[in-house]
Amino acid sequence: MSADEEFTNLHVVDHPLVLHKLSHLRDETTSTNDFRALLREMALLIGYEITRKLDMSSKMISTPITRMEAPILASVKPAIVPVLRAGLGMAEGLSQLIPTAPIGHIGLFRDPETKRPVEYYVRLPDNKDRLFILVDPMLATGYSASYAVDVLNKYGVPDSKIRFMAMVAAPEGMRAFNEAHPTVEVWAAALDEKLNEKAYIVPGLGDAGDRLFETS
């Protein structure tokens, strides 16, 4: 895993399997079915890193040999919150990693003129001082990511209890995000070069939602 000197809250997961799958995710010839599978698999792999410091507890169990005090996750499980719609593909991978995690949804779309997020749906699990993991394949302009964190803040979740997972991020988006939420940790498979004139990440992977759901 590598760190960026400018963005100290960004964790780039450069594991060989993640990088290999990211290359296929970027490839425009990758089928819809394979794109879905790759997004799910990458979310699971990055999820191992993002959940490394989850709160732990213990309980007594019996092995076939003896009794022991066994480590288990704390009773309050982290929540998975995809940013609709593209985040749904990542949420599936994370839920395989943490099957008992509650799942919320934040529905945003990007205004084609202003490039700013517009909210259309919010549904969140109970806030029991749990960790909230926001998932969205692209951290492009940073506006949607910042808005999603704002939504959780209004729900009573502090920045210290929020993590953001993306597949790829743009420097412009990270700067905008950090102006609003500099202490929220971001986990991604790559920090890409830039945004183009249409606010798409370069080289990026195109419109993740359209590729995930085969729409245009």
Active site (catalytic) residues = 110, 114, 207, 210
Contacts of 115 (CB under 8 A, 6+ apart): 141, 143, 199
In this structure, the strands spanning 168-169 and 138-139 are: parallel
Which three-class secondary structure string do you get for the chain? Answer: CEECCCCCCEEECCCHHHHHHHHHHHCCCCCHHHHHHHHHHHHHHHHHHHCCCCCEEEEEEECCCCEEEEEEECCCCCEEEEEECCCHHHHHHHHHHCCCCCECEEEEEECCCCCCEEEEEEECCCCCCCCEEEECCEECCCHHHHHHHHHHHHCCCCHHHEEEECCEECHHHHHHHHHHCCCCEEEECEECCEECCCCCEECCCCCHHHHHHCCC
β-bridge partners, 195: 201
β-bridge partners, 188: 12
